[in-house]
Amino acid sequence: MNELDRQLFFAINHGLKCGFNDLWLGYATWLGNGWIAFPITVLVLLAIDRRSFWWNILSLALAGVVAGIALNLIKSALHEPRPLTVFASDIAVGRVYINVMFDKLYYYSFPSGHAQTIFTVATVLMWTGMRARKINFWSGGTIVIIAIIVGISRVYCGAHFPSDVLGGAVLGSGTALVCCFGIGRLHPQKSQVKTERTF
């Protein structure tokens, strides 16, 4: 962990701490749970493109499985400590305060699973929406902003360092792009252009 990572952690975790931020930023972290993020994504995919729905679900499922396997392999290999472990001695003597919401976590910090999940589904939604021509600047920007907020929430809740979130975001987006591209090659988007009949 470098000094920038430490400074960003405390700027978000301690610097932003207030009751209002607990309500919207702290609880935003739940959107990074797979059992919440994936059902919502399925409904959005249905709304975006009904004709290619099952192909899009296949992209989502494949991206989720591949990213999930990669995430657990990396976590197990690195076994990085979380903020509560890194600053345990400082917390014990009162030199450091860490805002913790929800469970107290101590190990397997890198990369962030919540960040991986939300960026996986965000990338699949962006890919699907662009292929179906249903994503514009505002809707696409909203998806990205929500994903970023969920990532920041992991730092705010005291569960991860910013580098953990960045790693999860790269893993989730990268695997989703590869999986979506692969499924897209199997199922090319049909032309939306209508041909005129001549008489």
Q: What would the pLDDT profile of 26-77 be if each residue is shown by its tens digit?
A: 999 999 999 999 999 999 999 998 888 999 999 999 999 999 999 999 999 9
Contact of 64 with 38, CB cutoff 8 Å: yes
Identify the CATH number of the domain in which residue 98 sits.
1.20.144
pLDDT class for 199, splitting at 50, 70, 90?
very low
pLDDT over 50 at 17, yes or no: yes
Give the up-direction half-sphere exposure of residue 7: CA atoms within 13 A in the CB hemisphere: 3
Measuring CA to CA, which residue among 66, 164, 187 is closest to residue 123? 66
In a domain, 108, yes or no: yes
- The sign of the torsion formed by the CA atoms of 142, 143, 148, 150 equals positive
Give the CA diameter of the chain: 88
Tell whether 199 is covered by a domain.
Answer: no
Query: What pLDDT is attached to residue 7?
Result: 94
Does residue 92 belong to any structural domain of this protein? yes
User: Average pLDDT of the chain?
Assistant: 91
Query: What's the first-to-final CA gap in the chain, in angstroms?
Result: 72
How many Cα atoms sit within 13 Å of 106 on the Cβ side?
2
CA–CA distances in Å: residue 4 to residues 1, 11, 15, 153, 161: 8, 10, 15, 18, 10
How many Cβ atoms are within 10 Å of 119's Cβ, its own excluded? 28
Q: Does 33 fall in a domain?
A: yes
Decide if pLDDT at 191 tops 50: no
Q: 40 lies in a domain?
A: yes
Structural domain contains residue 72: yes
Residue 191 lies in a domain: no
Residue 114 lies in a domain: yes
Number of domains in the chain: 1
Q: What is the pLDDT of residue 186?
A: 84
| Residue range(s) defining the domain that contains residue 175 | 8-186
pLDDT above 70 for 101: yes
Instruction: Please identify which residue in the block is written with the tokens 């609880």.
Output: 27
pLDDT in tens, 172-190: 999 999 999 999 888 766 5
